[in-house]
Structure 1
């Protein structure tokens, strides 16, 4: 069963709009559940939020499918909790694993009279910041639920996680605000205004710097609960006071600030002040003689002094802060960026998913040649997407799907189709190698090895000997030992390894030293500048000399002029590719040109 990618992102967009328009989280949860049930063709389902007490985790319903009358439904939604650790509802929260059952009256629901029998069920843990915060349950679809369903629903699951976290933050803020009502207008620990006074003063505040854009920023301390748990609440109070002092000095009379919850501050200030505040905590601060590393998740929204709605603008800043949290913390997200970038990301992911499902990915080949004489020695596989008769280039969609499930899905699709092309090359007795781009995120995923093993079952060793894997986005390799292990496995089965864009990252040399590399490709940005910037010339010279001394191949990308060619020959570079020799061509045409040893320069 495959779910509609377009419908998934429509559901996410609806949830985002609901959150930005209203603080009624229950309505947003219920609407999103309705969309999820339609997408998955599941007649029954729920979203549960996970809480903890002395007996362990328990689930409280946040949304549930309409399986009874409206009054019963309302009562069920407000009261239903699950405390049984053996129930299939709680198991995902306890084990962190997906639960799938068939032909069973489980899970053990606290079912009122008239509740339908459950004959199939999938329970999915929902994680935020590596903590299990919720559980999703879907039941009674006419097909069998599978683990692959979860991968396809991954964007929706992340959205639910953000919604649960936002609800938690709003609840903490509400409780904090109630406590603040018993005090004066200011927080006794920091001396900052409370939220209501902050909103009141913001509405009447007039800036000293008229030509500077002002923002509302929501600054949340990452992992503050761990600081309290590790060092105690007294130290936590000193920690908060220290942060407040730095914020107060930085903002001076240029804006306003408040402590909106235990680990969160709201500021009205010029944008540059927020960056100045964050910089003062880099890399650490000392509190009571103890040094602590601290990072922040910051959400920002522009403030209009003439017509701004303070409540709405604060909601936008808080929503952006949650997105910064979702990115792993230590991030700053601007509300304009999040609305524009999120929608663009959705569109590009949907575009790629649709192209994969409809086989609208086009495969091109660009020759790799001996620089001296132009003899074709191999090709790099490049892709395009056809969308409504338009050709979409990789630069337009690859950055937006980076480090997503779609990144992996596209990588698998490219691998499988590239092997078909190589099989065709061998059947035509054409002598050339093929380079296939593999993103670092795809390489380190579980799916990569599974796909390679499936290809081993389908193809002969001869095909593997013709293929080079070009590892791209090496800056995203966060586990060099795991990458080395996977690449060594690839070499053992006959594949060769190429390191793409060499020289662009500070750790390129480290990758060359620690990974089983057969070849490096010099990034085209250096080749384009090789005759204009001495730094580029010296760097290219050094790379060629070093790689040659190790007995490895070096390929120069981006050769566009005869001057580039002559310079590289003089520096001892034997292989290259670029528009000077040939533009990429549809793979069938490229193979014909290879047989004829002609280059496509038109």
Structure 2
């Protein structure tokens, strides 16, 4: 929309009021002078008189802009005096800058443009235009405020909390700050049982209590579904932070009234100190969250320690690479022979996973199997191991004209037995590779029985229906109930190497091994001793009644091809 014409404000000292056109005639080409009357924004003609800028003409939009209705009393002359003076004293043809005008309650924002052209006049003149950006910037500020605020509690969210840290914590004063991460234990169960609305109500109540436990200069934010974060200004970093953590735990001990129920909730608290070396605010938040994870395991408030975090980063790297290795089948199986102690004949091989990472590092199962179990990767890893073992057995059988005469043992994780349909997976692998289940031995640990004895028993019966042999691995190191051994279809007990190694010079170990062998005989089970490294030990175990032996005495773990050749040569 085009606006009104320029009009010069009356000047009491002058009988004749100059027009905008006459003033700007030397400023713009003649053919464009009439366009000045159609400028659609607040505009004014400014002249430099006696080392002072003076407004000599304004248009209607200028008078309505709120920066002064009388040109000689406009706030522009005081607020922008330095910018105008500098422009007139420079050789620039134009200058653009932002101007904030008003007070903290009602700021207004303008985009200011100064423009001029060469002229012969002794008194320089320029055109000043104001573009009011107040509405646009306020909208941006409101949107940004919404982006940085948790809509439920009104606290800053993770992004907003990070900005607060960036604003307050600098390299010079970081020793005076700490971040606490507070995670509510069991909140998901409340959400599931009572509904999301009740969960939201609880979060609001928790936020109020946490706010009441803090000082005015501390900042509380909600950084996750059931996690809050606090930026503390501390004098004695560790002691002050631990004191606040204790106060938070105290305020949460009082039950919450929720839908006619009294809900008790506790929390895990992790602390990251500003004195720790870190790159940015996100580091402080992440360090505190890592400490929370440890606090959940230990049951007490934990302070971040960089050494522990380095271990966690290494585990995360292993998890990432292991996931990719499983997808690309970059792992391999090695095979260690198990021999009949009475004849020395190889009866089976135990399959052992081996992994060379992308950078060429050899990782032992003890390094990557725990990571796989914690991350859930043990399920796809276990499926791969079953399929690879069955495939290898198929290759060996074909190379031996139908039957190689040995079995292959595969380890099953307790988590794998709980989460996966192992009988179905194994049956599909056997059918796919044309192998009979009698060629497969499945080894499980005692911990698998403790977690879900009824469910595991059902799974084991399904595996026995496929014709497999079931072995209890590392027997004697877990928590087995002997009653389970009577009811479960276990065929072999494997005596852990910790009882075998050093047995010859330790009467207590001999007594333990003899007891396990007697138990197995009473239950009609066979036995395998792990960790045999000498003929003397093998002969002693055979004399005690042990059925099979496994260890470096016979061979170290071998590749599939070397294991088959070892079988042929034996």
Tell me how far apart the structure 2 counterparts of residues 338 and 204 of structure 1 sit (CA, whole Å). Answer: 18
Tell me how far apart the structure 2 counterparts of residues 521 and 347 of structure 1 sit (CA, whole Å). Answer: 33
Corresponding residue of 2:97: none
Corresponding residue of 2:368: 397
Task: Note closer, same or farther for the CA distance 1:509–1:73 as it changes in structure 2 (3 Å cut).
Answer: farther
Corresponding residue of 1:483: 456
Task: Note closer, same or farther for the CA distance 1:386–1:78 as it changes in structure 2 (3 Å cut).
Answer: closer
Corresponding residue of 2:492: 519
Q: CA deviation at 1:335?
A: 2.5
Do the aligned residues in 2 keep the contact of 1:303 with 1:313 (CA within 8 Å)?
A: no
The one of 205, 208, 212 equivalent to 1:175 is: 208
Do the aligned residues in 2 keep the contact of 1:381 with 1:435 (CA within 8 Å)?
A: yes
Q: CA deviation at 1:505?
A: 1.2
Do the aligned residues in 1 keep the contact of 2:520 with 2:526 (CA within 8 Å)?
A: yes
Tell me how far apart the structure 2 counterparts of residues 506 and 454 of structure 1 sit (CA, whole Å). Answer: 32
Asked if residue 412 in structure 1 is aligned to residue 383 in structure 2, the reply is yes
Asked if residue 335 in structure 1 is aligned to residue 325 in structure 2, the reply is no
Tell me how far apart the structure 1 counterparts of residues 187 and 520 of structure 2 sit (CA, whole Å). Answer: 41
Do the aligned residues in 2 keep the contact of 1:345 with 1:401 (CA within 8 Å)?
A: no
Pairwise mapping of residues 125-140 of structure 1 onto structure 2 (< 5 A)?
129=186, 131=188
Do the aligned residues in 2 keep the contact of 1:464 with 1:493 (CA within 8 Å)?
A: yes
Asked if residue 380 in structure 1 is aligned to residue 353 in structure 2, the reply is no
The one of 198, 202, 207 equivalent to 2:236 is: 202
Q: CA deviation at 1:131?
A: 1.8
Pairwise mapping of residues 443-454 of structure 1 onto structure 2 (< 5 A)?
443-454=417-428
Corresponding residue of 2:467: 494
Match of 2:512, SS state, is helix
Task: Note closer, same or farther for the CA distance 1:205–1:492 as it changes in structure 2 (3 Å cut).
Answer: closer
Q: CA deviation at 1:477?
A: 4.4
Pairwise mapping of residues 185-196 of structure 1 onto structure 2 (< 5 A)?
none
Task: Note closer, same or farther for the CA distance 1:312–1:589 as it changes in structure 2 (3 Å cut).
Answer: closer
Tell me how far apart the structure 2 counterparts of residues 551 and 494 of structure 1 sit (CA, whole Å). Answer: 18
Tell me how far apart the structure 2 counterparts of residues 590 and 205 of structure 1 sit (CA, whole Å). Answer: 60
Tell me how far apart the structure 1 counterparts of residues 304 and 487 of structure 2 sit (CA, whole Å). Answer: 41
C-alpha distance after superposition, 1:540-583 (max 9, x if no partner) = 11001110222111000000122321321221112110001111
Corresponding residue of 1:458: 432
Q: CA deviation at 1:302?
A: 8.2
CA RMSD of aligned residues (A): 4.9
Match of 1:382, SS state, is strand
Tell me how far apart the structure 2 counterparts of residues 74 and 477 of structure 1 sit (CA, whole Å). Answer: 52
Tell me how far apart the structure 2 counterparts of residues 230 and 70 of structure 1 sit (CA, whole Å). Answer: 38
Match of 1:424, SS state, is helix
Match of 1:484, SS state, is helix
Is there any run of 5+ residues in structure 2 with no aligned partner, and where? 1-138, 153-183, 193-198, 217-228
Do the aligned residues in 2 keep the contact of 1:440 with 1:472 (CA within 8 Å)?
A: yes
Is there any run of 5+ residues in structure 1 with no aligned partner, and where? 1-68, 83-126, 136-164, 184-194, 207-213, 237-261, 265-296, 598-602
Match of 1:347, SS state, is helix
C-alpha distance after superposition, 1:386-436 (max 9, x if no partner) = 233443221221122223221111111111111101112222231001100
Bigger Rg, which one: 2
Tell me how far apart the structure 1 counterparts of residues 238 and 450 of structure 2 sit (CA, whole Å). Answer: 49
Asked if residue 356 in structure 1 is aligned to residue 413 in structure 2, the reply is no
TM (normalized to structure 1)?
0.52
Tell me how far apart the structure 2 counterparts of residues 368 and 525 of structure 1 sit (CA, whole Å). Answer: 18
Tell me how far apart the structure 2 counterparts of residues 335 and 168 of structure 1 sit (CA, whole Å). Answer: 31
Q: How many residues align?
A: 375
Tell me how far apart the structure 2 counterparts of residues 217 and 80 of structure 1 sit (CA, whole Å). Answer: 23
Q: CA deviation at 1:323?
A: 1.4
Do the aligned residues in 2 keep the contact of 1:419 with 1:463 (CA within 8 Å)?
A: no
Corresponding residue of 1:367: 337
Task: Note closer, same or farther for the CA distance 1:312–1:419 as it changes in structure 2 (3 Å cut).
Answer: closer
